[in-house]
Chain A
Amino acid sequence: MPLLSIATLLPLLAGLALMLLPVRPARIVHGVSIAATGATLLLTLAIRDRGIAPEGFAQLEEAAWIPVIGAAWRLGVDGLSLPLVLLTGLLFFLSAIYSARIGDRPATYVVLMLMLESASLGTFMALDGLLFYVFFEVSLVGMYFMIAGWGHEDRQRAALMFFLYTLLGSLPLLLAIIGLHLASGTFDMRAWIGTPPLGGTAAMLALVAMLFTFAVKTPVFPFHTWLPAAHVQAPTAGSVILAGVMLKFGTYGLVRLPFQMLPDAFAAAAPVVLAFGAFSALYGAFAALAQSDLKKMIAYTSVNHMGYVVIGVAVAALAAEPRIRTIALDGATLQMVSHGLVTGALFFLVGMLQDRAHSRAMGDFGGLLGRVPWLGWAFILSAFASLGLPGLAHFPAEFQIFLATFNARPWGAVALLGIVVTAALYLRAIAIVFLGPERGRGRGMPDLDRRERLVIGVLLVLIVLVGVMPGIVLDVIHRTMSGLAG
């Protein structure tokens, strides 16, 4: 059975079916949404069950599309994409559960979410350059309408900025993909990986184009300004998907395209990439420290954490020893998963807080831990995970990234300072919002209900599991990465 194609198309088809219904009551709509995302999650688990190949891609599925130009429907997974596929399945399912309370045009909202899920899964599984680009772009449309339609105060402007920024940002990628196509006559990414078609100046130009696109998407300083704006205005599930899934397009693409398809050019440019990653990580941490809006603060910590991923990928290209390269790639890939889980949890929690108090400003709260212990302890645990506490999801990833960085380019480890800054900003936020005497908008606030506990509980359990037994994710990653590191 072509599980990959089914998983990619199922949400989209469910959305289309929903549109055909004559009447669309909210209960039915959300039921369909939960059922479709749940089924997709089960499909991704089945894909995990089938496993990956020791080298290259596994579970290949091909169908003709535009044979004249060599573009085809090509899907497959390896140790880089499989964890992200699982993460996508999980976060969309949890978002569907969380969003079941949305009563404002629920059908449109659900159709958009389902379309986004298809686009996200397709982006990670596509093995065809053109198909990858199409999925990559379609996700923008979904997110644009999500922010513009269900966002907060200033949503129109933020949505437009997000859309234009990332759309313009991805045009160079199209040029690079066309370049790869012209040099090879196919859009098959396996062929591009097997024998990199570009060399010399052409490769460097393609690299610059790709780096620009992925720097916007990841995001890396100075192309990150769309992120806090979009996050603050996006609805909660939108923020979760944006941070948890869509930011990974950037770093996934960074490994899949420049690292694998332009290896020589990328190795030459890696010191610059490393510098950008390190600066971005520190910049994001300090920018987050200056925020008083909880959601904006978490958005900026994404810049910090994704900066670590960029560092890891750059180090993997720089390091001489294969062992160090593997450690760097392992860490970078695991960091993507950890960031999805932890930041997903944090955005859910801030959303739950905002649902109750209609505010995101830290100063509006105080001493909430006594009032809403579930919310409070969940936030504390997620925050400590985010600041890299051992035993929680970010530590194994960040440890590997920094271990490799320090042993390849010791100066890159300057970004380690970020773990102190993130500690400071989370502890400060916790102290203001949750500790101390009760004050502000906390009075009469109800604690998490059963559905919210379910959503958060699943994420917290996974955060602890990945922290204590990183092998559950790393085994798959490591198998592919030790091949990539050569």
Chain B
Amino acid sequence: MIWLALTLMAPFGAGIAILALRRQPAALALAGSALGLAGALGLFAATARGDRIAAALPFLPGFPARLEASPLTATFALMVATVAVAVLIHAAGYMARDPGRVRFFGIMTLFVTAMELLVLSGDWITLLGAWEMIGFASWLLIGFWHHRPAVPEAALRAFLYTRSADLGLYLAVFLLIGATGSPEIAAASALTGPPALIAGLLLLLAAAGKSAQPPFQEWLMRAMASPTPVSALLHSATLVAAGAILLIRAAPMLPDAVLVAVGIVGGFGAVITGLMALAERDLKRLLAASTASQHGFMLITIAAGAPVAAVLHLVAHAAIKSALFLGAGIFQHDRNATTLDALAGAGRARPGVFAGFALAALALAGLPPMAAWFSKEAILAATWNSPLAPWLVPLALAGALLSGAYMGRALRVLWSGPAERAQTPVPFMAVGLWGLVILAVTLGPAFGPLEAMLGATIEDIPPFLPVLGLAVAAGGAALGWLLPPRRLLGPFLGPAERGFGIASALETLSARSALTLAGAVARLETEILAATLAAGRTGTRVAAATCRIDRDRIDGAIFALTRGLRASGQGLRRLQSGLIHRELALSMIGILLLIGVLLIAPLSF
């Protein structure tokens, strides 16, 4: 319990303290994330001993928020905490002079909290909540330099892309809770039949959105407008990783048909975004495309039925990719730009940083003895033994070849330009970078025990497979170093540079149609309003007509009547002259008339 609380509350407390006190943000953030790391280590050690740590907090009636540390979730928590510490050390240098650093460190630590909540969640509602919160935090972080042009748009795109895909998660969660009667993630593994199929596909949609698989990769490419430490965190252990984490946790319930779909998305995603990375002209965007490509690998592995191998690659990638971004951040700091043209030679000017960057790059390419070599070997083994091997293995190999090629190209560019003036030392940034590089290089041998702890069996593979994998990785790196992308990609270069038109097609389809619909609704709205007003006007017109009729006809008639009565009154008045003899005469006439009537009346009956 104490470890669970420490993992979550230390970064949370630091974030709140930073935003409330508004001073010493870097120190507070480092302290909070270091305590969080201690908590995650405690969790990892406890679960490795076989303990299961769980907690339930009140949330909705019947649906408490559950937290759960199993070997799997504790591994994720440790990964997140480790990368967070390294990135925050780097950021202490990178953001040292930024006027918004209070906000930066505050949001970063809260973001880490939300991510820890996501990986440790034990029920779907907590997971969904954390899932959306990291979306919000990433909107804040991508939009950090909000006064710059194009930044608000990038943040908006990131949130909208992922939220659209999140509809899949919402629906899947509704379905899973309804079908199993329980909100717990563990309960979902019992699900079979059509509900499992539908829920699995919906989860895949959500995961593809967060993990930036085609057609959703564009938001990640644009998210490069953020400060580089943000990219380092988003791309490695957090935001993008959430998609893979979701599928890894859901893996026990995914039926075969969904696995095929996961394989298709991941396989083609790895290749398509790999091609885009190779064609890219901006270092950060190259790394972004490579993130999507590496997550494609993880999806391939899940499709092959080996989620534990996907965990290994996720962990390896987290260390490697954050190291690469931190290196890129230092180069960006030097040259104040991220395009490959501007960065040419930036590595030669800073050999120490370049060495770290190069080690991480080669690790990503999959060269031994570094981390991704072990995980890629596990991936190849898993795909080889899977029923989907005939098409998964070629896709995985193609992805691996591309990984080598784009990293080789990036190294070549960084090394082979003019290396101008000596640089100022960057102690914080270098410490953050090298901490991660050391992990990226040395993590590999730990993967065996980790695999055992996560309960996976080591599979037998034909001996030529590792050799083939090595040949592909080394060959790719060599090709990338030696040949320019123009030669490597040939006719694919243009489409790859434009992202194969996927993003623009998607945006045209969704955004344009939403805006068209909104416009139509707005027009309908004015018409309904006009109709309402017309009805109102008809009312007033009827009223006016009534008024006229009142005045001209009814009143007229009444007035005419009174006029007539008056006139006859005037006439009658003349009879009333007041002269006694005339009155008497009139009386006599009246009496005679009455007598006449009385005499005649009986005769008529």
**Partner-B contacts on A (CB < 8 A):** 161, 164-165, 222, 225-226, 228-229, 283, 286-287, 289-291, 323, 326-327, 330, 367, 369-370, 384, 389-391, 395-396, 399-400, 402-403, 406-407, 413, 416-417, 419-421, 423-424, 427-428, 430-431, 434-438, 469-471, 474-475, 478
Q: If the complex has contacts A287-B525, A435-B152, are A390 and B143 also in contact, measured as CB distance less than 8 A?
A: no
A289 with B514: CB separation less than 8 A: yes
Q: Could you say which residues of chain A place their CB within 8 Å of the CB of B515?
A: 289-290
Query: In the complex, A427 Cα to B152 Cα: how many Å?
Result: 9
Q: Could you say which residues of chain A place their CB within 8 Å of the CB of B533?
A: 161
B163 with A229: CB separation less than 8 A: no
Q: Could you say which residues of chain B place their CB within 8 Å of the CB of A406?
A: 171, 174-175, 178
Q: What is the 8 Å Cβ interface bit string for chain B, positions 172-191, against chain A (1 contact, 0 not)?
A: 01110110000000000000
Q: For the complex, is B59 an interface residue (Cβ under 8 Å from A)?
A: yes
Q: What is the distance, in angstroms, from B437's C-beta to the closest C-beta of chain A?
A: 35
Could you show 24 A-B contacts with beta carbons less than 8 Å apart? Answer: A161-B533, A165-B532, A225-B525, A225-B528, A283-B521, A287-B518, A290-B522, A330-B60, A384-B136, A390-B129, A395-B132, A399-B125, A403-B174, A403-B178, A407-B177, A413-B174, A416-B170, A423-B160, A431-B155, A435-B147, A435-B155, A437-B149, A470-B60, A478-B61
Q: What are the 4 tightest A-B residue pairs by CB atom distance, in nearest-first order?
A: A390-B129, A290-B522, A435-B152, A406-B174
A420 with B164: CB separation less than 8 A: yes
Q: Could you say which residues of chain A place their CB within 8 Å of the CB of B514?
A: 286, 289, 421, 424
B171 with A289: CB separation less than 8 A: no
Query: In the complex, A399 Cα to B124 Cα: how many Å?
Result: 12
Q: What is the 8 Å Cβ interface bit string for chain B, positions 503-531, against chain A (1 contact, 0 not)?
A: 00000000000110111011001001100
Q: Could you say which residues of chain A place their CB within 8 Å of the CB of B59?
A: 396, 469-471
Residue in B closest to A425 when the chains form the complex, CB atoms: B518
Q: For the complex, is B561 an interface residue (Cβ under 8 Å from A)?
A: no
Of B61, B152, B164, B171, the residue contacting A413 (CB under 8 A) is B171
A416 with B528: CB separation less than 8 A: no
Residue in B closest to A479 when the chains form the complex, CB atoms: B61
Q: Could you say which residues of chain A place their CB within 8 Å of the CB of B171?
A: 406, 413, 416
Q: Could you say which residues of chain A place their CB within 8 Å of the CB of B155?
A: 427, 431, 435
Which of B143, B153, B518 has the most chain A CB atoms closer than 10 A to its own CB? Answer: B518
B521 with A290: CB separation less than 8 A: yes
Q: What is the distance, in angstroms, from A276's C-beta to the closest C-beta of chain B?
A: 15
Of B132, B147, B519, the residue contacting A436 (CB under 8 A) is B147
Q: Could you say which residues of chain A place their CB within 8 Å of the CB of B223?
A: none
Q: If the complex has contacts A395-B129, A436-B147, are A389 and B60 also in contact, measured as CB distance less than 8 A?
A: no
Q: For the complex, is B46 an interface residue (Cβ under 8 Å from A)?
A: no
B133 with A389: CB separation less than 8 A: yes
Given contacts A390-B129, A431-B152, 18 further A-B contacts (CB under 8 A): A225-B528, A287-B521, A289-B518, A290-B518, A290-B521, A326-B61, A402-B174, A406-B178, A413-B171, A423-B159, A423-B160, A435-B155, A436-B147, A436-B152, A437-B147, A437-B148, A469-B59, A470-B59
Q: If the complex has contacts A225-B529, A431-B152, are A436 and B146 also in contact, measured as CB distance less than 8 A?
A: yes
Query: In the complex, A430 Cα to B159 Cα: how many Å?
Result: 13
B58 with A471: CB separation less than 8 A: yes
**Partner-A contacts on B (CB < 8 A):** 58-62, 125, 128-130, 132-133, 136, 139, 143, 146-149, 151-153, 155-156, 159-160, 163-164, 167, 170-171, 173-175, 177-178, 514-515, 517-519, 521-522, 525, 528-529, 532-533, 536
Residue in B closest to A417 when the chains form the complex, CB atoms: B167
Query: In the complex, A161 Cα to B537 Cα: how many Å?
Result: 11
A419 with B174: CB separation less than 8 A: no
Q: Could you say which residues of chain B place their CB within 8 Å of the CB of A326?
A: 61
Query: In the complex, A287 Cα to B514 Cα: how many Å?
Result: 11
Residue in B closest to A398 when the chains form the complex, CB atoms: B170
Q: If the complex has contacts A229-B529, A431-B153, are A420 and B129 also in contact, measured as CB distance less than 8 A?
A: no
B517 with A286: CB separation less than 8 A: yes
Q: What is the distance, in angstroms, from B476's C-beta to the closest C-beta of chain A?
A: 39
Residue in A closest to B163 when the chains form the complex, CB atoms: A423
Q: What is the distance, in angstroms, from A322's C-beta to the closest C-beta of chain B?
A: 12
Query: In the complex, A201 Cα to B130 Cα: how many Å?
Result: 50
Q: What is the distance, in angstroms, from A465's C-beta to the closest C-beta of chain B?
A: 13
Q: Could you say which residues of chain B place their CB within 8 Å of the CB of A289?
A: 514-515, 518, 521
A428 with B163: CB separation less than 8 A: no
Of B60, B160, B163, the residue contacting A396 (CB under 8 A) is B60
B60 with A431: CB separation less than 8 A: no
Residue in B closest to A434 when the chains form the complex, CB atoms: B146
Query: In the complex, A421 Cα to B164 Cα: how many Å?
Result: 9
Query: In the complex, A326 Cα to B62 Cα: how many Å?
Result: 11
A438 with B147: CB separation less than 8 A: yes
Q: What is the distance, in angstroms, from B164's C-beta to the closest C-beta of chain A?
A: 5
Of B62, B146, B160, the residue contacting A369 (CB under 8 A) is B146
Which of B125, B130, B153, B525 has the most chain A CB atoms closer than 10 A to its own CB? Answer: B525
Q: Could you say which residues of chain A place their CB within 8 Å of the CB of B525?
A: 225, 228, 287, 290
Q: What is the distance, in angstroms, from B550's C-beta to the closest C-beta of chain A?
A: 21
B518 with A286: CB separation less than 8 A: yes
Q: What is the distance, in angstroms, from B111's C-beta to the closest C-beta of chain A?
A: 13
Q: Could you say which residues of chain A place their CB within 8 Å of the CB of B136?
A: 384, 389
